[in-house]
A = this chain, B = another copy of it.
């Protein structure tokens, strides 16, 4: 059974800050957001976690293996180097969407995202030793995206196709399986899943094909943390590319 530790990262009072005293240069906001995400990606990723940019002012991380002290260090490091601060809500459970709901609740209970008095929340339930149950990660991509889209359409129409495929998948996985799916660039989508088997992935792929006309393949992996599960998923996806299968599960390969 999976037991996913999820952290919601929310920039404190960010919206008002971006327009105070006047709207700030968009290029600087984009730089700030993407570098903050990159820093979190290193701080969390080098400890075996994954963080997804999501809306940039609200980022979602899978943090099995990171304890409260790790979270406090990340929060302190950002506060030392950025003009903004972070609140972190943490929760753990077999159901990724449920865990994220709990993590969101931790932050919401402390105040609004636009409450100028709410800064640097850090609270929630850490997986601790229960991490052994591990994480399931699925790595999807679009079959022959380069040939079908990138080299064939204009860049925006390609983007529309990828985006519609993502929009279909994210909704389906959320509502059918309480999984959290994130676009991670190119034609790649990473989903944080509960225990799912081949059939569930096949149905997801069929749904996206029907709904958005986009053909996906997927590798899924399990591991004690997001990196381990995700790397297994990447290798499984390589197997799809090599042998033309549409679903490969890393735990069936061993």
Majority-rule SS of A interface residues: helix
Find chain B residues with CB under 8 A from A231 CB: 23, 25-26
List residues of A (39-67) whose CB comes within 8 Å of B's CBs.
Answer: 39, 41-46, 49-51, 53-58, 60
A217 to chain B, nearest CB (A): 14
Q: Is A203 an interface residue (CB 8 A)?
A: no
Closest 6 CB pairs of A and B: A27-B45, A56-B185, A23-B234, A28-B80, A101-B154, A34-B34
Complex CA–CA separation, A198 to B46 (angstroms): 39
Say which residue of B15, B24, B234 sits within 8 Å of A80 (CB atoms).
B24
Q: Identify the interface centre among A27, A153, A163, A234: most chain B CB within 10 Å of its CB.
A: A27
Q: Is A245 an interface residue (CB 8 A)?
A: no
Complex CA–CA separation, A7 to B103 (angstroms): 39
Q: Is A176 an interface residue (CB 8 A)?
A: no
Encode A182-207 as 1/0 by CB contact (under 8 A) with B: 00111100100000000000000000
B32 and A35 within 8 A (CB): no
A207 to chain B, nearest CB (A): 15
Chain A residues within 8 Å of B, Cβ to Cβ: 8, 10, 14-15, 18-19, 22-35, 37-39, 41-46, 49-51, 53-58, 60, 73-74, 76-77, 80-83, 97, 100-101, 103-105, 108, 112-114, 146-147, 150-151, 153-160, 162-164, 166-167, 170-171, 174, 180, 184-187, 190, 227, 230-231, 234-235, 237-238
Say which residue of B33, B104, B151 sits within 8 Å of A155 (CB atoms).
B104
B46 and A38 within 8 A (CB): no
B238 and A25 within 8 A (CB): no
Complex CA–CA separation, A170 to B167 (angstroms): 12
Q: Identify the interface centre among A60, A73, A105, A190: most chain B CB within 10 Å of its CB.
A: A73
Complex CA–CA separation, A83 to B104 (angstroms): 27
A19 and B151 within 8 A (CB): no
